[in-house]
Structure 1
Amino acid sequence: MTDDEYLWEPVPGCWSVRRHSEGPGPRATLLTGTGDWGRDAAPAPHPSPPPFTTLAWRLTHLSEMLTLRADHVAGSHTLTRDDYRVSGDAAGAVAAFDAGAAAWRQALLCTDDTALDKVGHSTYPHGSDPEDVFIDVVWWVNQELLHHGAEIALLRDLFRARRH
């Protein structure tokens, strides 16, 4: 994946990752994450209709979700969106996704059957995790990976097939 593909905005008004110094994109009110780059976001209520999101937005969303949920299951239970480093380039984003997936996998491997039925086993603060049975959280993470992973695959196909 190239940086051009990673940051490609196929339609006007996309949410993406941007330099903090440039500020948020259209209909976004903030950039989440630490470092030079952040991901477009807005507090609830979110814009309606939802903005179209770039491959960069989707990949960093997944990476952040995996990293933070792993931390809130088997780590320090302290990481927030403001602690997550958003990558402004494709290589960094792929590496961050790999690290997040490995952390989530390790958190699941350390989870016993009793924890799967425990309410609040994940203390992740940006969802209903503290009120949910952990197996439902695992199901949700799988749905997010399938959903956004398919979108990323489609965007890669569209980028490859676009007319220059």
Structure 2
Amino acid sequence: MTIPPRLVPLLEQFDFARERLVARLTGPVMDSGNGTDVAVGPVTDDEYLWEPVADCWSVRRRTDGPGPRATELAGTGAWGRDTAPPPHPEPAPFTTLAWRLSHLVEMFVLRTDHTVGTHALTRDDFRSRGDAASAVADFEAATDGWRKALLSATDADLDTVGHSTYPHGSDAEDPFLDIVWWMNQELLHHGAEIALLRDLYRAHGGGR
């Protein structure tokens, strides 16, 4: 299928952002931003769950219960992500690398399902991971799935309001092209946050 011309730059931006974040998480090198390779090691489990300040929201064992100011652990399985129903706590809790990566993966998994899948998955079906390697693998699989969904979109689909039926966003009001743009924005800004957390962890001597 021919990629609609309007989708091409967004797809290229998505590919670049995804590749850069995966390299930032796994190594052995990452792009410094100017084409220079910089050595970087893979995220460790300690780094993945590192809480740099008090009262972080994170991914936790379900048996341990939610963290400070959270009321539940979202999803299913042995691990869940700290959350609370609206109105959310103010000021917003600082979130760990694990929380941010879980949030990204959940969005990609659910939006893909509500675009080209069963249109039935909910947040209650999502599994957060308690270790870094599994979380990164889930991220790669989730973004692969979303990319395939984008490649299946026709030019008419890009203008269709509700082409994605994802229930936690503006999908019911916005054309699909806007949703594609929004998902790129989510990847870019959370990817930057994750990169900064990696820098802070290293600067703090591995979390000490």
Q: TM-score, normalised by structure 2?
A: 0.77
Structure 1 match to 2:20: none
Equivalent residue for 2:33? none
What code does the residue aligned with 1:91 have? Answer: A
Aligned to 1:55: 97
DSSP 3-state at the match of 1:126: coil
Task: Select 2:178's aligned residue among 105, 112, 136.
Answer: 136
Amino acid in the other structure paired with 1:94: V
For residues 61-112 of structure 1, what are the alpha-carbon distances to aligned partners after superposition, in whole Å with 9 as ceiling and x for unaligned?
0011001101100111111111111100001100110011001001101111
Say which of 51, 65, 72 aligns to 1:30.
Answer: 72
Letter in 1 for 2:75: G
Q: How far apart, in 1, do the equivalents of 2:66 and 2:175 lie?
A: 35
What TM-score, normalized by structure 1, do the two folds share?
A: 0.98
Determine the C-alpha separation between the residues in 1 that align with 2:186 and 2:89.
20
Answer yes or no: is 1:66 the counterpart of 2:66: no
- The code of the aligned residue for 1:111 comes to A
Q: Deviations over 1:98-127 (max 9, x none)?
A: 011001001101111101100001100111
Structure 2 spans left out of the alignment, 5+ residues: 1-42
Farther-moved stretch of structure 1 (41-50 vs 114-123):
41-50
Q: How many residues align?
A: 164
Percent sequence identity over aligned pairs: 71
**AA partner of residue 86 (structure 1):** S
For 1:113-164, what per-residue CA distance to the aligned partner results, in whole angstroms no more than 9, with x for missing partners? 1011000011001112122211111111111111100000000011111043
- Partner SS state of residue 60, structure 2: strand
Q: Which has the larger radius of gyration?
A: 2
SS in structure 1 opposite 2:172?
Answer: helix
The answer to whether residue 142 in structure 2 is matched with residue 100 in structure 1 is yes
In structure 2, give the amino acid aligned to 1:129.
D
Map 1:6-17 → 2, pairs under 5 A: 6-17=48-59
CA RMSD of aligned residues (A): 0.8
Q: Distance in 2 between matches of 1:127 and 1:42?
A: 17
* Partner residue in 1 for 2:11: none
Q: Which amino acid aligns with 2:121?
A: L
